[in-house]
Amino acid sequence: MSRNDELAKNTLLLGLSKIATQMLLFLLIPIYTKYFTTEAYGTVDLIMTYIALAVPFLTVQLEFSAFRFALDNRNDDKKLSEILSTILSITLPITLVAIAILLFTSIFTSIPYVFLIALNIFTSVILSVILQFSRGIGKTSVFAIASIIAGVTTILSSITLVVLLNWNASSIILSATISNIVTLIYLIFAIGLSKKIHLKYVNSETRKPLLTYSFPLIPNNLSWWILNVSDRTIISIILGVAANGIYAIAYKLAFIPNILFSIFNLSWMETSSLHINAVDKDTYFSEVFNATLIMYSCIAAGFIAFMSVLFPFLIGNEFSGAYYYIPILVIGGLSQAVVGMYSSIYLAKKKTKEVANTTLYAAIINLIVHLSLIYFIGLYAAAISTLIAFLVMAVHRHYDVQKYVAIKYIPMNFVIVGLLLLVTVSAYYIDNNIINILSIIVATIAALLLNQKIIKKSFYVILAYIKSSTINSKLRAR
C-alpha cells in the first residue's frame, strides 16, 4: 500500500467513526442550551476545561510516548508490555496523589461536584494512555470503534440524565465519566490489556527514554492552558460565568470543523512518523500540506456558511450572543489545525522541546492581547486573541520546521483560501437569508472543485476497502 493510500485509509477509518460520533455529540448542544442556564453551563464548562488541563499534567504527557514508542516496536510484544506497564506505573500514582489532594482540599474549600471530578480525572488519565497506545500498535480500527463507543455512551447517558431524569449541569461530568468507563472496558478486551500490563514488565531502562520524550511536552501543555483555559478563566473573572457560558457555546460550535481536522491529523501523525526520513520527504510533505490547506479551508468556509442558517435552530435564546464570535473562532481553529500538522513533524523527529517553545510564544501573545482588549470589546477579545495566537504559531512553526522538512506552499493557494473565507465571513455578518444561501452554494461548489483529487482518491480507497473486506469475509466463511 502506498503512503497516500495508507494515509487515506487511516483517515477514512478514523473519519467514519469520528464523524458519526461527533454528529451525535453535536446534538447535545441544543439540549444543553435548552435545559441549562448560561451560569450553570458556564460553571460546568470551566470545570471540564480544568479537567482537560489537569489530565496531561498527571500523565506527564506519556500518552504521546505510548504512541510514539509503541509505533517503533509494533512487532515486539515484550517491549510493548514494558512500554505500557512502565507508563502506567508512573501515571497512576501521580493521579492518585493528585486526587487525594483534591479531596482533602474540598474539606476546607467549596468545590462543586468534587467526587465526580475525581472519578472523571482518574478514568480520563487511564483512557488517554490506552487510546494512544492502541494507535501506536497499529490498532486503528480499535481506536475508531472506541471513539464510537465513547460518543454513543455520552449521548445516551446525557439524554437519560438531562432530559429524562432532569439532572442539573453535573450530568455533563457524569456522562463523560460513564463514557470513559465503558470505553475502557471495551479496550481491555479489544487489545488484550490484561496480558500487557503487569508489574514484572515495569522497566527502569525503558522509563528514561519515555520521560525524556514526554517531559518537554509539559511546558507545552502549560502553554496550551494559557491559549485555551486562560480565556475561560479571564472571562469568568472579569465578565462573569454567564458570559463564559455564551463563549463556551461559541467555542464548541466554532471548533466542530476541528473534529474533522483532528481525524486527518491523527492519521498524519502516524504517516509522518513512518516516513519522516524518506528520501523524497520534502516533496511528499509539501504535497500533503498544500492539499490539506485547501481542504481545511473549504471545510471552515463551508461551516461558516451553513452556520449562518442553522444557528437559530440549534441554540436557545439565552445563548444567542454566541453567534457573533463563531467566524473568528473558526478561522482560529483552522490555524490551530495547521499548527497540528507541523506538530506531527516535531513529534516524528522526537523534537518535543521545540514543540513547547513554539507554543509558549503564542500563549504569551494570546494572554497579552486578551487582557489588553477585554475591557473594550468584551468577548470579542477572547476570540481575536485566540485567532492571532494560532496564526502566529502557525507562521512560526512553518519557518522553524524547515530545518527538518523543506515545506513549500503554492502561493495561489493562499489567494484562493483568503477569497473563499472573505466571501463566507462577509455573508455571515451581513446576515441576510438570500446572501446566506448564496454563500452556502459558493462554498459547496468551491469545495467540490478544489478537492477533486482528494474526493476521487477517497472514493477509490473506500471501494478498495469494501472489496477487501468482502473477500476476507468470504475466505473466513470457507
What's the pLDDT at 455?
A: 77
CA–CA distance, 32 with 282 (Å, rounded to integer):
46
CA distance 199 to 383: 47
Res. 474: pLDDT tops 60: no
With a cut of 70, say whether residue 238 has pLDDT above it: yes
C-beta atoms surrounding 459 within 10 Å: 10
Residue 382 has pLDDT above 90, yes or no: yes
pLDDT at 16 over 80: no
Confidence of residue 13 (pLDDT cuts 50, 70, 90): low
- Cβ-based burial of 465 (10 A; exposed 0-12, middle 13-18, buried ≥19): middle
Give residue for cell 465503558: 182
pTM for this entry: 0.75
pLDDT at 202: 83
**pLDDT greater at residue 348 or residue 433:** 433
In this prediction, residue 183 has a pLDDT band, given cuts at 50, 70 and 90, of very high
Supply the pLDDT for residue 204. Answer: 81
8 A C-beta contact, residue 192 and residue 81: no
**C-alpha cell of residue 157:** 447517558
Q: Residue 264 — very low, low, confident or very high, per pLDDT cuts 50/70/90?
A: confident
Please calculate the CA angle 448-450-455 and round it to the nearest 5 degrees.
55
Q: Provide the total of helices (H) and of strands (E) in the chain, helices listed first.
A: 20, 0
pLDDT grade for 8, boundaries at 50, 70 and 90 = low
Any idea which residue has 506505573 for its cell?
89
Mean of pLDDT values over 146-170 = 87
Q: What is the DSSP string of 285-314?
A: HHHHHHHHHHHHHHHHHHHHHHHHHHHHHH
CA distance 363 to 352: 17
* pLDDT reported for residue 52: 84
470: pLDDT strictly greater than 70: no
- Evaluate whether 86 touches 80 at the Cβ level (below 8 Å): no
The answer to whether residue 164 scores a pLDDT higher than 80 is yes
Residues in the chain: 478
Query: Could you tell me which residues come within 8 angstroms of residue 199 by beta carbon, excluding any fewer than 6 positions away?
Result: 85, 89
Residue with more model confidence, 276 or 220: 276
* Spatial distance between the Cα atoms of 381 and 363, rounded to a whole number of angstroms: 14
Predicted local distance difference test score (pLDDT) of residue 370: 94
| pLDDT (mean) for 156-179 | 90
The mean pLDDT value for 285-299 works out to 93
CB atoms < 10 A from the CB of 469, how many? 10
The predicted model gives 156-178 an average pLDDT of: 90
pLDDT in tens, 323-347: 999 999 999 999 988 998 998 888 8
Centre a 10 Å sphere on the Cβ of residue 137 and count the other Cβ atoms it contains: 22
Condensed to tens digits (0 to 9), the pLDDT of residues 387-423 reads 999 999 999 999 999 999 999 999 999 999 999 999 9
Read off the C-alpha cell for 80.
Answer: 510493548
pLDDT of residue 165: 87
If you average pLDDT over residues 247-254, what whole number do you get?
90
